[in-house]
């Protein structure tokens, strides 16, 4: 594949199509860049190369080249010239292409170097971001581990507290049962004494739980006591 010429205006670098403006300082420009620069000036004294600033005062320092010449043009353009002139023209054309090739290679090398520097800077920045992310992740993992340990300890404490509560509940129930038994046991002497006193009182002719005894020991019902008990 042939080397492709590009407009030497660094902000353009378009590939000229059918025609381009070439200079004796071995630069080439598309028609748009030529018209917008001093190359399109009518006064040749005011013309300078947009790429290198070389004055282009001579009439043929700036020419319009046909980039896709016809076969008839190629057969006739050098016709009538001496071999020496033809070789000079060929050498000039080859030197133009060699210069353009070297400039393009230099441009691509510089562009690649710049891209590599930018890529290295991005990789370094990315490495810093990764390092910060790893550090942050490590901190979060440590915090998560500590939180998990706290949760485990709290769960264990809650389980122990629940077991303690159940133990206290069992003790309370046991103490309540014991208290009821002791209470009943403490009331037994009072009940026995009350029963003995009532029995002794009844033996003397008094009432014993609504039952009246006669002097001869027979037992009868005290209807007045029953009536009084009924209407209380």
Residue with the bigger pLDDT between 126 and 225: it is: 126
Q: Specify the pLDDT at position 227.
A: 43
Q: Does 25 map to a domain?
A: yes
Question: How many whole angstroms separate alpha carbon 126 and alpha carbon 133?
Answer: 10
Annotate 27-36 with b (16+ C-beta within 10 A) or e (fewer).
Answer: bbbbbebbee
Query: Are the C-beta atoms of residues 86 and 78 closer than 8 Å to each other?
Result: yes
Kindly indicate the confidence band of residue 114, based on its pLDDT and cuts at 50, 70 and 90: very high
Is 51 among the domain residues? yes
Q: Looking at residues 122-141, what average pLDDT do you find?
A: 93
The pLDDT score that the predictor gives to residue 219 is: 45
pLDDT in tens, 89-109: 999 999 999 999 999 999 999
Host domain of residue 66: 1-77
Residue-averaged pLDDT of the chain:
85
* pLDDT at residue number 194: 77
The pLDDT assigned to 144 comes to 95
Entry pTM: 0.55
Of 69, 62, 10, nearest to 41 by C-alpha is 62
Long-range CB pairs of 49-58, under 8 A, 24+ apart, other chains included: 49/23, 49/25, 50/8, 50/9, 51/8, 51/9, 51/25, 51/27, 52/25, 52/27, 54/23, 54/25, 56/23, 56/24, 56/25, 58/24
Q: What span, in angstroms and rounded, lies between the C-alpha atoms of 97 and 28?
A: 10
| Residue 61 neighbours by CB under 8 Å, 6+ apart | 23, 24, 25, 44, 47
CATH of the domain at 30: 3.30.40.10
162-182 CB burial, b ≥16 within 10 A, e <16: eeeeeeeeeeeeeeeeeeeee
- On the question of pLDDT at 137 being above 90, the answer is yes
* pLDDT above 70 for 213: no
Mean pLDDT value of segment 129-152: 94
For residue range 179-203, what is the model confidence (pLDDT) as tens digits? Answer: 888 888 877 777 777 777 777 777 7
User: Is residue 59 included in any domain, yes or no?
Assistant: yes
Give the model confidence (pLDDT) of 40-51 as tens digits.
766 767 789 999
Mean pLDDT of the 119-136 span: 93
CA distance 102 to 47: 25
* CB-based contact 54:39 (threshold 8 Å): no
| Distance separating alpha carbons of residues 4 and 219, to the nearest angstrom | 145
Confirm whether 159 is domain-assigned: no
Residue 66 counted as domain residue: yes
The alpha carbon of residue 45 and the mean position of all alpha carbons in its chain are separated, in whole angstroms, by 63
Domain presence at residue 24: yes
**pLDDT classification of 229: cutoffs 50, 70, 90:** very low
Q: What is the DSSP letter of 213?
A: E
Q: Over 60: is that where the pLDDT of 210 sits? A: no
Residue 129's pLDDT band (cuts 50, 70, 90): very high
- Residue 52 included in any domain: yes
Number of compact structural domains in the chain: 1
Which residue would you say has higher pLDDT here, 177 or 229?
Answer: 177
Q: Is 45 within a domain?
A: yes
């Amino acid at each position: 594949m042939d080397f492709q010429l590009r407009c030497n205006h660094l902000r353009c670098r378009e590939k000229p199509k059918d025609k381009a403006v070439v200079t004796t300082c071995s630069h080439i420009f598309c028609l748009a860049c030529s018209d917008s620069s001093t190359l399109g000036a009518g006064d040749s004294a005011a013309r300078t190369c947009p790429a290198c600033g070389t004055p282009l005062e001579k009439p043929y320092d700036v020419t319009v080249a046909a980039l896709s010449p016809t076969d008839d043009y190629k057969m006739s353009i050098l016709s009538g010239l001496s071999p020496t002139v033809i070789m000079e023209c060929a050498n000039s054309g080859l030197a133009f292409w060699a210069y353009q090739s070297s400039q393009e290679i230099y441009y691509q090398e510089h562009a690649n170097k710049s891209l590599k520097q930018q890529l290295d800077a991005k990789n370094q920045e990315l490495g810093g971001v990764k390092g910060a992310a790893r550090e942050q992740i490590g901190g979060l993992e440590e915090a998560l581990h500590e939180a998990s340990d706290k949760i485990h300890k709290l769960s264990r404490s809650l389980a122990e507290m629940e077991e303690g509560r159940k133990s206290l509940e069992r003790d309370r129930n046991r103490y309540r049962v014991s208290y009821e038994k002791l209470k009943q046991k403490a009331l037994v002497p009072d009940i026995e004494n009350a029963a003995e006193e009532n029995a002794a009182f009844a033996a003397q002719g008094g009432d014993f739980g609504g039952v009246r005894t006669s002097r001869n020991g027979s037992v009868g019902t005290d209807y007045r006591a029953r009536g009084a008990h009924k209407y209380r």
